A and B are shown apart, each in its own frame.
Chain A
Amino acid sequence: MIYSYLIISLVCIFIILLLNNKKLTHAVVYLFGFFQIYFCYELYTHPERCQNEYFSVDSIGVLFTIILAVLSLVAAVHYQKYETLHKEDIRSVKIHNAVYIGFNAALVGVYLSGHYGLLWAFIEATTLTGATLIYHDRKKIVLEAVWKYVFACSVSITLAFTGILLLSVAAQEIKLSELSFELLAQNAQIMNPVWLKAAFIFILVGFSVKMGVSPMFNVDIDAKDVSPFPIGALFSSVLLNAGFLAIYRFYSIFKDTEMGVWMNHVLVIASVLTLLFASAHLLKAKNYKRLFAYSSMEHSGLVLIAITLGKLGILAAFLHLTFHAVVKSGLFFQIGQVIRLNQGKKEAITGYFYQNPLGGFILLFGSLAIMALPPSGLFISELLIFKSLLLQQNGLIIVLIFSLLSIIFYALLTSVFKLLFYPSTTEKVIVKPKTYWLENLLQLFLLGLSVYFGLFQSQFLIDLIQASL
């Protein structure tokens, strides 16, 4: 089934490249989107059909693929509107749509890989496709961002590969001939921790560029800033999940060995540093896309600390990633609308609530949800993270994280309130700005999902996450 998925992705890419009609290329993307949803259904009901030598289907992989399928379809709708309003030529739309499918396929590859070498190759593919997606509006500033992104990702992923090579040294010592997660997990207890520790450092640093956590977070922020907003939304959600999974696979295999405690210390340091940088940048960020990109950094940092807190923490981390993905992409889609209605301005925008009341409501609701206020699902996941932290009785870390989260809360709230409710400094808008009902509806749907799962504790979601613990 997984090979069929990859072949169909390739076929769709070729069809798009052959077409000379923008609407038809969008139609292929939608068809592919619906096929991805069917693929998720197959993954959920018949996971054994996708199992083979190189791919393994576990619950977390299925969960992330479902999130990808939903968000990818929503982003495709937003992109169609984006390119129509920007009067893109057929060539850019074709390239975007073809690479978009490649990006989706690469992410599915990351989620379902059962082998570290293969996972790494798919992560590399997300860089190649992601860079092309960022370089959509061929401006000088975009070129600067894409250059930084490609260069930093290339260096980081090369470092991650070094980590995988070190892991293979440890594997060869005990006569393992491949790096499948299953084999590694079976032999985790007898592997040499010195090689494993070195491997973990390289893997964490290398994949941090995809997850947007310390130390390699900068280029990820720039990429989200200059890319078309549907791509920024995917980078903040599904790509972040891919980066997390690449780190988590290693962690989950070796967390019960003698290096488990050491890995926890490293992750806590990375997490606190991430929150520290996020809070410092959020205080001075004026550009709204960057503001929400830094907010993603905050959530990534929280997730890193959550996985060190045992089963409850890991459950909270998966819930957090799920809710964050839907809420943050909804926010990015709405921010795209804000920028569009303000003639491309990304900062110093005020009075948006009066300019576009429904959009303002979505932005307000989404912002409160991303700050983990009830009834957002993120409230439940953050509550679980703090509960696990309290159970661990690590007072210093709790105080530190709580202080940093308070700064982040303050920075986000003041910026969003300024955007929504400050009186407009520019001339009054005479012509009512055009908004599109489908975009707003989809954004409300995403925010609604977070509230629904937060309030009603979906058994489907809990079962799926429990199965992966």
Chain B
Amino acid sequence: MITFYILIFAISILYFSISVNIRSYINLLGVQGILLFLIALSGLKDFHIFQLIFVAVETLVFKGIIVPRFLLNVAKKNRVTNIKNFKLRRKMKGFYLILTTVLVYLITLLLGYTLKNDFLNVKYFSTGITAIIMGLLFIIINKNITVHIISFIVIENGVFLMALAIGNEMPMLVNTAVLLDLFVSVLVLGVFFNKLTYQFHDDSSDKLSSLKD
């Protein structure tokens, strides 16, 4: 079952590559949040009950519901529907990104199996690394601040998955990853992103160019 969840998670990264609709991006984040909860629930058997509640709140409530709802509201407020300002030509973008996602996933899988490690779950690891790399790539090729935020959350989801890959032996790292998500998301989304979209009335990073030498 875990393999199935991870596969859907990997497909969601692929879907990010071809989507141009902001609502699809945000819905995918919600799906990833729920998937992370299911993966954590079925993958880690000796979870302490307190830790389980912690992870459930973090993934299911926070990533699955609160963050997507918040982003939808911001997108609605700014009337952002489609992502137009890619740095690549739109038709080619989807193709290149799918190709890159598949290549990154294959390379990380190969790497994971080559560097055989009994304590590392290769499926988690490869999917996590792919999410991190693709999240970074989405930030680089997009000028839209909302997409930057979404991509950052994809990176965080990848890190969370990686933490789960080794979390059986080091639960402290899983907890730390959860805390990272909570604090940074609250700060980035709740405080500054909200103020930024209110002040600049636009969500293109081109508007943020006042600071110069």
Instruction: Flag B158-183 by CB within 8 Å of A: 1 or 0 each.
Output: 01001101100110110011011001
Binds A, one of B5-13, B22-30, B39-47, B148-156: B148-156
Task: Provide 18 A-B residue pairs closer than 8 Å at the C-beta atoms, listed in order of the A residue.
Answer: A117-B176, A121-B179, A144-B196, A144-B211, A148-B211, A150-B187, A154-B187, A154-B188, A158-B156, A164-B173, A169-B125, A172-B117, A172-B119, A172-B166, A172-B170, A173-B119, A192-B115, A284-B213
Residues of A near B115 (CB, < 8 A) are 192, 194-195
Question: A177 with B199: in contact, given A131-B187, A169-B119 (CB under 8 Å)?
Answer: no
Determine whether A452 belongs to the interface, using a CB cutoff of 8 Å to chain B.
Answer: no
CB under 8 Å from chain A, chain B span 20-63 = none
The answer to whether B184 has its CB under 8 Å from any CB of chain A is yes
Does A178 contact B199, Cβ atoms closer than 8 Å?
A: no
The yes or no answer to A35 lying at the interface (CB within 8 A) is no
Interface residues in A191-229 (C-beta closer than 8 Å to B): 192, 194-195, 222, 225-226
A162 touches B159 (CB 8 A): yes
Give the residues in chain A near B118, CB-CB below 8 Å. Answer: 173
Interface window among A12-20, A285-293, A306-314: A285-293
Q: Is the CB of A151 within 8 A of B188?
A: yes
Expressed in whole angstroms, the minimum distance between the Cβ of A377 and any Cβ of chain B is 29
Q: Are B210's CB and A141's CB within 8 A? A: yes
Chain B contact residue count (CB 8 A cutoff)? 41
B120 at interface, CB cutoff 8 A: yes
| CB contact list, A255-292 vs B, under 8 A | 281, 284-287, 290
Shortest Cβ gap from B58 to chain A (Å):
15
Please report the C-alpha to C-alpha distance between residue A144 and residue B170 in the assembled complex, in whole angstroms. 38
A449 located at the interface, meaning its Cβ lies under 8 Å from any Cβ of chain B in the complex: no
Name the residue on B nearest A115 (C-beta).
Answer: B172
Chain A, Cβ-Cβ closest to B148: A151
Instruction: Give Cα A204–Cα B95 distance, bound, in whole angstroms.
Output: 32
Does A144 lie within 8 Å of B208, measured CB to CB? Answer: yes
Please measure, in the bound complex, the distance between the C-alpha atom of A287 and the C-alpha atom of B170, giving whole angstroms: 47
In chain B, what residue has the closest Cβ to A145? B211
Q: Name B195's closest neighbour in chain A (CB-CB).
A: A143
| Distance of A165 Cα from B156 Cα, bound (Å) | 13
Q: Which residues of A contact B192 (CB under 8 A)?
A: 131, 135, 143, 146-147, 150
For B196, the closest partner residue in chain A by CB is: A147
Please, which residues of chain B bring their CB within 8 A of the CB of A173?
117-119
Nearest 6 pairs of A and B residues by beta carbon: A172-B119, A285-B213, A222-B211, A154-B184, A144-B208, A165-B162
CB within 8 Å: A-B pair count: 111
Main secondary structure of the interface of B (DSSP, over half): helix
Least distance between B54 CB and chain A CB atoms (Å): 15
Chain B residue numbers with a CB within 8 Å of A150 are: 187-188, 192
CA distance A401 to B74 in the complex (A): 48
A161: Cβ under 8 A from any B Cβ: yes
A172 B169 Cβ-Cβ under 8 A: yes
**Is A124 part of the binding interface, using a Cβ–Cβ cutoff of 8 Å?**
yes
Task: Kindly state whether residue B132 has any CB partner on chain A within 8 Å.
Answer: yes
With an 8 A cutoff between CB atoms, is A128 at the interface?
Answer: yes
Verify B173–A158 contact, CB threshold 8 A.
Answer: no
CB distance A124 to B196 under 8 Å?
no
Q: How far is the CA of A336 from the CA of B178 in the complex (A)?
A: 39
Chain B residues closer than 8 Å to A168, beta-carbon distance? 166, 169-170, 173
Q: Chain A's nearest CB lies how many Å from the CB of B100?
A: 18
Please name 20 further chain A to chain B contacts, defined as beta carbons within 8 Å, in addition to the given A144-B211, A172-B120, sorted by A numbering.
A117-B173, A117-B176, A124-B184, A135-B192, A143-B192, A143-B195, A143-B196, A155-B152, A157-B184, A158-B184, A161-B177, A162-B129, A164-B173, A165-B163, A165-B166, A169-B125, A172-B169, A172-B170, A173-B119, A284-B213
Nearest residue, chain B, Cβ from A120: B176
Does B136 make an interface contact (CB < 8 A)? yes
Q: Are B152 and A151 in contact (CB under 8 A)?
A: yes
Instruction: Write out the residue numbers on chain A whose beta carbons fall within 8 Å of the beta carbon of B184.
Output: 124, 127-128, 154, 157-158
Asked whether any CB of chain A lies closer than 8 Å to the CB of B83, the reply is no
Q: Is A140's beta carbon under 8 Å from chain B?
A: yes
What distance in Å separates the Cβ of B113 from its nearest Cβ neighbour in chain A?
13
Shortest Cβ gap from A239 to chain B (Å):
17
Q: Given the complex of chains A and B, what is the CA–CA distance between A151 and B156 in angstroms?
A: 13
Chain B's nearest CB lies how many Å from the CB of A60?
Answer: 24
B98 part of interface (Cβ distance < 8 Å)? no
Query: How many whole Å from A193's CB to the nearest CB in chain B?
Result: 11
Beta-carbon nearest neighbor of A194 in chain B: B115
Contact, CB under 8 Å: A161 / B180: yes
Pair B183/A128 contact, Cβ less than 8 Å: yes
- C-alpha spacing A285/B180, complex, angstroms: 35
B2 within 8 A of A: no
Knowing A143-B196, A154-B152, A158-B155, the reply to whether A286 touches B213 (Cβ < 8 A) is: yes
Query: Min CB distance, A227 to chain B, in Å?
Result: 12
Decide if A161 touches B210 in the complex (CB within 8 Å).
Answer: no
CB distance from B71 to the nearest CB of A (A): 15
Contacts of A164 in B (CB 8 A): 173
- Asked if B139 is at the interface of the complex by the 8 Å CB criterion, the answer is yes
Contacts of B165 in A (CB 8 A): 165
Q: Which of A81-132 contact B (CB under 8 A)?
A: 117, 120-121, 124, 127-128, 131
Complex Cα spacing A147 to B200, Å? 12
Q: Which residues of A contact B152 (CB under 8 A)?
A: 151, 154-155, 158
Nearest-neighbor residue (CB-CB) of A195 within chain B: B115
Report the bound CA distance from A173 to B148 in whole Å. 35
Report the separation of the CA atoms of residues A434 and B57 in the bound assembly, to the nearest whole angstrom.
55
Could you say which residues of chain B place their CB within 8 Å of the CB of A172? 117, 119-120, 166, 169-170
Write out the residue numbers on chain B whose beta carbons fall within 8 Å of the beta carbon of A177: 169-170
B179 — which chain A residues lie within 8 A by C-beta?
Answer: 121
Q: Contact string, B180-206, partner A, CB cutoff 8 A, digits 1/0?
A: 100110011000110110011000000
A131 to chain B: which residues have CB within 8 Å?
Answer: 187, 192
